[in-house]
Structures are given as C-alpha cells and as structure tokens.
Structure 1
Amino acid sequence: MVKSTKQGTSTHKICVIYNTAPRYREAVFRAIDKEYDCDWYFGKTKSDIKEMDTSLLKNVTYYKTYGNPQKWYWKRNYLRLLFRRDYKNYLILPETRSISDWIFFILAYTFFRKKHFYLWTHGWYGKESGYEAKMKLWLYRNASGTFVYGDRAKMLLIEQGIPQEKLFVIHNSLDYDIQKVLRENIKTSSIYNDHFQNSSPTIIFIGRLTKVKKLDMIVDALARLRNKGEKYNMVFVGDGSESDNLKVKVKSLDLNDQVWFYGASYDEKTNAELIYNADLCVSPGNVGLTAMHALIFGCPVITHNCFEWQMPEYEAIHAGETGDFFKMDDIDDLIATISKWFAVKSDKREEVRNACFKEIDTNWNPYYQMDIIKKNIKF
C-alpha cells in the first residue's frame, strides 16, 4: 500500500477509483495526475491485462477484493472513501458485479448530494435488459456526469432518457506521444518481402490470440482466397490460448508459407515497423485496442458490423476510409470485404495511411481525452 503524502484540501482534488491500472491508460492517467490533485485507488486483482507502473502517479493506494470477479465480490475499505471530507469530486469506473459499488452509489446519491460523482465506463452496449438495464440507467441518471467511450453509447443512453448534458464521449488512447514520434521517423522496410520471399499484400493481427477474437476465420479466409487466385501474407503479432490451435489449422490448410506467427512483442519500435508495413489489419471478433494500435501507424482495419457486440474503438473505423466492416460470423462476407478492399484501395495506400493518422490525431489520444475531462468536471 502506498500512502498519500499530500496534506490539506485542494479545490481541484479528485478521488479516482479504478479496478486496475492498465498499461494502455498510462498516458491519460499521468495527464490527469499532472492537471489535478489526485488520490488514486486501484484494485489489487489478478488480471491478464498488462499494468502500468503506478509509481509514476503521485498518490496511490491499492484495495483488496474478496469473492468471485465473474459473479459477486466486495472491495475492502471502499465505502469509507465516501466519508472523506477532502473528497468532493470522484472519478470512478463502476463495476456492476461489485456489491460494494452498489452500496457506495446508493449512499452517495442519497446522503452525499453535495459531492460530485463522475463515471468512466462503456456506458451502453444495446444488449442490456431486465434488472441489469434498470440498475445501469439508475446509475447514469443520478451521476454528476458519465464519460463514455463512444458516440454510439451516448446516443443509446439519450434514447433511454439520460440527459445529453450528462454524457461526455471520452474515447480511448494508447501511448500516443511515443507512438507519434515513432510514426514520424518510420520508413517503409522490406520486413515482409524478406520473410515471405514475395511481394504479396500483408494482413496483420496484433493483440492476444484468444477465442473471442475468432482468428480462425482469418485462416479459413486466407485458404479460400488462395483457392480463387488471391494470395495474401498473414502475420499474427501476439500470443494467447488460441496460438496452438491456429498453428494446427494453418498447417492443415497448407498455409505455412503464407502465415508468420511472430509472437508477442512489447517493443513499440518493432510493433511500429510491423504495423506500418502491413497493408490491412483484420480482427474478425471484437476489435478493441487493436484498432488504436493499427490506425496510429497507418494500417486500416476490417472487423464485424454487429456493434452491440463490438468494443467502442470500432468507431474509429470509417468504411472505405480507415477500414471496413463485414457481416458478423459470415466467412463469405469477410472474404468479399477483404477482396473488395484490395481491389479498390491497393493503389491508394498513402491516402489510406494519412486517413488513419488523422483519425487518431483528432479523436483517439490523451490530449483529446484531457480536453473532454477539463471541460466537463465541475469544481
């Protein structure tokens, strides 16, 4: 446990409560920490999400959780944060399976009306129903404001009766400053020509190789595209539970010469080269931060079009500009979408690359996020 070293009360003090300290939020967390007088509270939980070095933040405390994270659980010493007199503003990731969260918000909205409670969350997928839907709407209706990841979530919540002025689209981001410097200095290389010994277009997937990503669809698509005379190289950058299954499938379809299992890479300079030199990123399941990683280095993205089952980052994909969409779980449509993309865009690589850069530079970076936070948290 890291104890707070600050004394007294700041008019710009924020109590930030998050379930973990994910590495991909480091840039925006550090920006928040620099802008405000923050006390940070993170859950001490086991997760496969890579965490940031929280010593980079000034005042950090870890809380323990008890119970089953997939069902119901309790956060130790969580409720006492409500009674801190120096906390007037809270920025919280609400967790619907946490009993302590629900008690916290019932007490907050009933007895602490002079305090401000801002939520930072997905918001609304469009598949909520019954008890879950009612409880989430109650949460958003009574909050001082809710920062949601995407425009679709905001639109759906407005349709559910949540006031527009209480909803702020904050988007998402990665290590933007580091990535932008790498991008500005990167050059086209022969990495794929050298590895595959051909000049065929290269498709990439970067991220964890898990079942939910439906990566077997890419392998099937490669085989069928080859059979109709279209040959593409494929590189998987990452590791995960589906790695062995994918390798077996690649071998069974005689695709070893077209598929490179690069493995996990945590070196951003290496990732930049791999992504920049690829022609297309394909994520058949939900796309998530894979889209952020691909677009920042100029690689367009194809993913499925069933948005209630998507991650909010799909909104960075604009059909025909920064990528495209195919019918969810429809291998024929995935094949057609890949074919169409290369037929139409093969001679417009720089135009597409610049469109990808612009999307991230405009909407998906910590500067955009801080602007939204500063405009909407009222002290």
Structure 2
Amino acid sequence: MKTNIKKVAIVYPYLPAYRIPFFEKLERELEEHGIELTIYSGTNLGQKKVKEISSSSLKISKQQRAGFSINKFQVQWQKGLLREVSRDNPSMFIFMYNAGILNYSLLMLSLSLHKIPFYIWTSGHKRFGLSTSQHKIKDRFKSMGINRASGIISYSSYYKNQLEESGYSPEKIFVAQNTVNVENIIQKYPFSEIKRTYETVKFLFVGNVIETKSIDKALHCFKKIKEQGYNFQFDVVGEGYHLQTLKALSAKLGLQEQVNFHGAKYGEDAAAFFLISNVFLLPGTGGLAINEAMAYGLPIITTPGDGTAHDLVNKNGFLLDFNFPPEQLEDAIFFFLKAKPQEFRKMEEQSVHLIKSHFLQANMVKGFMAPILKELKT
C-alpha cells in the first residue's frame, strides 16, 4: 500500500548561495523523518549584489520575479508560483515573507481557506526609505499573513519577545537564530591556530555596500580619530551602489592611507581578511556577517540591525544604539585602539564561545524542525 509522502515547501523571494548549506542540512534532517523538501525561489530584483546558487542537489523550483516600483515601494509577483504549488501539493509551507510580492498573500489566503499549515519566517525588521503610509500598507499585508499563519519562525529571541509583547501567542513562535555555515569556518580555521597582531588595529566590514550599512558614519569617526594621531586600518570588502560615494567621501576626509576598498570577495579570498583583522565593524543594518566574523574569533561593533545582534553581542564587543550618536561609535573604536592584546583575546574567545554554544547552523535547523514536526508528525 502506497503511503502519502509529506512535503514541506519553502517559498523564497530569491535564493542566495549562503543559504544552501542550511537548506541541505535541513533536507537531510527531514529525510530521516520521511519528509520531502522543495524550495520555490524567485529571482533577485533588488539593489543588493548577492551571489546566487549555481548548482545544488536540492529540489529547487525557480520562477522569474517581476514587478515595478512606486516611489521606492516594490510591487512584485513570482511568475507561475501558484501553478507550481498546485501541481506539487505540499503538506506545509514556510514563507520568507515579502509583503510586496502579491501572490505570496494570495497563496497564504488560499492555504488558510484550505486549512493547510503555513509559517512566516522573518526578522520583523522594517525596510528603510519608505514613507509612513507605505509602511502602513506593508504592515497591513504582513499582519494579515501573521494572523492567518500557523506560527512564526523568528530570526532571533529579540523579535520573539516583540511578538509576545504585542499579544502573539508564545506557543506559535519558534526561534531559529539566523546564521550561516559557521561550522565550516570553525572546522577549517580553528581558533587556536589563528595568530593575530595588534600593533595596527585593523577594522573590517564585509557585506553589501549600501547606504543602510552606515559606513559613512564610520568614515567620519575615523577622520576624527586620525586627527588625534591614532594608527589604524579599515578594510571595506563588498560591492554595492553606495561604493563610489564612499570612495569619494574617504578621499575628501583624507583617509586614503587608512581606508581600503577591496570589492566583493568570496571563499578563501574573504577568509583572508577575517583572519588578519582585529575588529568587525558594522555600524548599520545587517546580521549574517556578524555570525561569520564571530566564527573567526573577531570582536564586534554593531547596532541592533535586524534584531539578531541583540543575541550575538554579549561581552564580545559593543552593541550601539540603533540611531547612535557619533560619540558612541568613537568610544567603541577608541576602546580597541587602546586595548591590550589580552583584552582582544578575551573578546575573541567570547565570540567563538557564543557561536559554538548557541549559534551553530545545526541549531537553526532544530528551530525549523520543531514547527515542521509539530504539524506533520501529529
């Protein structure tokens, strides 16, 4: 007698390469429970330059994403998504939700009417640059999805607490701390074998070079620090629409000898910067690069970003206010410029400890398995 195979569908606006190790781990875990995984992925229409997947053994159903922009508000749809879903007939859905993709909301409404469980996977972070009215429209769509959803898979305990404070049932919230394949970094570059020097303190940024990363604020702080005679280096690794503006600003501030722009780097080329740097500096939005930096044993200076940094920064660096005054960033930078090697080492050890004890990608997989097994094993 043929048994019905349970299927989990993950609906994703576009599939970056850094997500593949996580989905492969999740697929292996699901297979042990006789559950299949399918990923429905759109294509990248955003300004972020993100390396997309080239090949994988995962079952990926890819649809073109199309749309238009109205005063920075994106109205989009994932072509053929509803047709593909109808053909495959998954047992459960997890949405990397984007309120601007119209057929996500249509699919959620259909699932709700047919009593098919679906979860929303989100950090709860709101996009910058939208007007109050645009945020209200997006919030209305998102709240419709959240209210109809079987539950939420939160990027962090920070957003989980926000949901609970707003009255959302704790039993419907699952935390899967957002991370990358830190296990691979820890195995390939054991912390005990990483040797750093501290004569010239080297600050590092890695990520998309876009306005919301607030690298310009760091440059202004470094100008003041240079004027006081301190020796430092700031490496910016990444591409983005804001890159040329930052290069011009750096030259204007007279930081050509201290600040270096290296473009996008991947694999061993990116690892080389993490291995020789002393502090990871992310003064704006973001999250995943912090996990990566901590796996290499770097102390952190950052803001709450998408909320995940609230969990990540604990005695291993500085968590700035979201809209921090310049003096707050300057004080954090000065701490490291004046710190002794043993103070660096203490924070480096704490970063690695936090990653190993709480923020492995295996823990993220467990965060996903909990709601999946709740729905499909009952």
Fold conserved between structures, TM > 0.5? yes
TM class by shorter chain equals 0.7 to 0.9
> Which residue does 2:252 correspond to in 1?
252
Further displaced range: 43-52 or 99-108: 43-52
Give the whole-Å Cα distance in 1 for the aligned partners of 2:249 and 2:142: 41
Q: Which of 162, 183, 186 matches 1:156?
A: 162
The letter for the 2-side match of 1:243 is L
2:354 maps to 1:353: no
Give the whole-Å Cα distance in 2 for the aligned partners of 1:134 and 1:238: 34
Question: What CA RMSD, in Å, does the superposition of the two structures yield over aligned residues?
Answer: 2.7
> Which residue does 1:140 correspond to in 2?
146
* TM superposition score normalised by structure 1: 0.84
Alpha-carbon distance, 1:256 to partner: 2.5
Alpha-carbon distance, 1:16 to partner: 2.1
Q: Which of 9, 13, 18 matches 1:19?
A: 13
> Which residue does 1:216 correspond to in 2?
216
Contact 1:213 1:283 (C-alpha < 8 Å) held by counterparts: yes
Contact 2:40 2:81 (C-alpha < 8 Å) held by counterparts: no
The letter for the 2-side match of 1:241 is Y
Q: 1:67 to 1:176 in 2, by over 3 A?
A: same
Q: Alpha-carbon deviations, 1:179-201, whole Å to 9, x = none?
A: 122221743266xx9xxxxx221
Give the gaps of 5 or more residues in structure 2.
Answer: 31-35
> Which residue does 1:281 correspond to in 2?
280
Alpha-carbon distance, 1:10 to partner: 4.8
> Which residue does 1:187 correspond to in 2?
194
Contact 2:230 2:337 (C-alpha < 8 Å) held by counterparts: no
**SS across alignment from 1:348:** helix
Displaced runs of 4+ in structure 1, greater than 6 A?
126-129
Contact 1:140 1:162 (C-alpha < 8 Å) held by counterparts: no
Q: Alpha-carbon deviations, 1:54-100, whole Å to 9, x = none?
A: 4331x221123332264322333323456457422222222211221
Contact 1:75 1:100 (C-alpha < 8 Å) held by counterparts: yes
Alpha-carbon distance, 1:131 to partner: 4.4
> Which residue does 1:236 correspond to in 2?
236
The letter for the 2-side match of 1:170 is A
**SS across alignment from 2:208:** coil
Give the whole-Å Cα distance in 1 for the aligned partners of 2:117 and 2:247: 51
Give the whole-Å Cα distance in 2 for the aligned partners of 1:27 and 1:148: 19
Give the whole-Å Cα distance in 2 for the aligned partners of 1:345 and 1:246: 31
What is the identity percentage for the equivalent residue pairs of Structure 1 and Structure 2?
20
Q: Which of 352, 366, 371 matches 1:371?
A: 366
Alpha-carbon distance, 1:344 to partner: 5.4
**SS across alignment from 1:349:** helix
Give the whole-Å Cα distance in 2 for the aligned partners of 1:322 and 1:179: 20
Question: For 1:1-379, what aligned pairs fall within 5 Å after superposition?
Answer: 10-36=4-30, 37-47=36-46, 48-57=49-58, 59-68=59-68, 70-80=73-83, 83=86, 86-110=89-113, 112-113=114-115, 115-123=116-124, 130-184=136-190, 186-188=193-195, 199-267=199-267, 269-304=268-303, 307=304, 310-326=305-321, 328-343=323-338, 346-377=341-372, 378=374, 379=376
Give the gaps of 5 or more residues in structure 1.
Answer: 1-7, 194-198
Q: 1:149 to 1:367 in 2, by over 3 A?
A: same
> Which residue does 1:3 correspond to in 2?
none
Give the whole-Å Cα distance in 2 for the aligned partners of 1:354 and 1:10: 48
Give the whole-Å Cα distance in 1 for the aligned partners of 2:125 and 2:172: 14
Q: 1:132 to 1:244 in 2, by over 3 A?
A: closer
Contact 2:282 2:302 (C-alpha < 8 Å) held by counterparts: yes
The letter for the 2-side match of 1:288 is G
Q: 1:244 to 1:107 in 2, by over 3 A?
A: closer
Alpha-carbon distance, 1:227 to partner: 1.9
Alpha-carbon distance, 1:294 to partner: 1.4
Further displaced range: 254-263 or 159-168: 254-263
Q: Alpha-carbon deviations, 1:212-259, whole Å to 9, x = none?
A: 212122222122112223322211222333333333333333333222
